[in-house]
């Protein structure tokens, strides 16, 4: 029974190596987002505060986890703005920062998508070498 279960699970699970690679990539993504938000908060006049950047990211991620559908980005902006409001930032400044972070996220995601499309198109259009 134990081996039968192992044979059934094997094609349905991810290897430890692949799971570790995914974990590293997601961790790097969160670190880069936190560092970028840290710099953006400083550039927009809030001040360089790493705890505030993490609070903003966590509030936005928690709000985006709600199963609302297309309005997920709106709830993420609202969650981030609420976190900034709770930390003492003015309402208009908190909302403008939250909207600018969301816009930068959409623009960077679009740029990555276009780069991936161009890369895959370039790979599929280049001739392959014939084996001799």
Whether the pLDDT of residue 1 is over 60: the answer is: no
pLDDT for res 38 = 92
For 40-85, the pLDDT digits (tens) are 889 888 889 889 998 888 888 887 777 766 667 788 888 889 999 9
Asked whether the beta carbons of 98 and 84 are under 8 A apart, the reply is yes
Neighbours of 129 (CB within 10 A): 5
pLDDT for res 118 = 92
pLDDT for res 61 = 82
Whether the pLDDT of residue 127 is over 80: the answer is: no
Q: Under 8 Å CB-to-CB from 100, ≥6 apart: which residues?
A: 40, 44
What phi-psi label fits residue 130: left (phi over 0), alpha (psi between -120 and 50 degrees) or beta? beta
Widest CA span in the chain: 69
């Amino acid at each position: 029974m134990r081996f039968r279960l192992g044979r059934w699970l094997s094609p349905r699970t991810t290897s430890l190596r692949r799971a570790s690679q995914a974990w590293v990539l997601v961790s790097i993504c969160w670190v880069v987002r936190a560092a970028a938000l840290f710099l953006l908060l400083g550039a927009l006049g809030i001040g360089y505060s790493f705890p505030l950047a993490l609070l903003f990211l966590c509030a936005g991620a928690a709000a985006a986890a709600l199963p609302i559908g297309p309005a997920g980005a709106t709830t993420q902006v609202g969650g981030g703005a609420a976190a900034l409001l709770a930390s003492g930032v003015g309402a208009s400044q908190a909302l403008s920062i939250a909207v600018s972070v969301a816009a930068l996220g959409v623009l960077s995601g679009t740029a990555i998508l276009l780069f991936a499309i161009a890369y895959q198109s370039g790979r599929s259009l280049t001739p392959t070498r014939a084996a001799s």
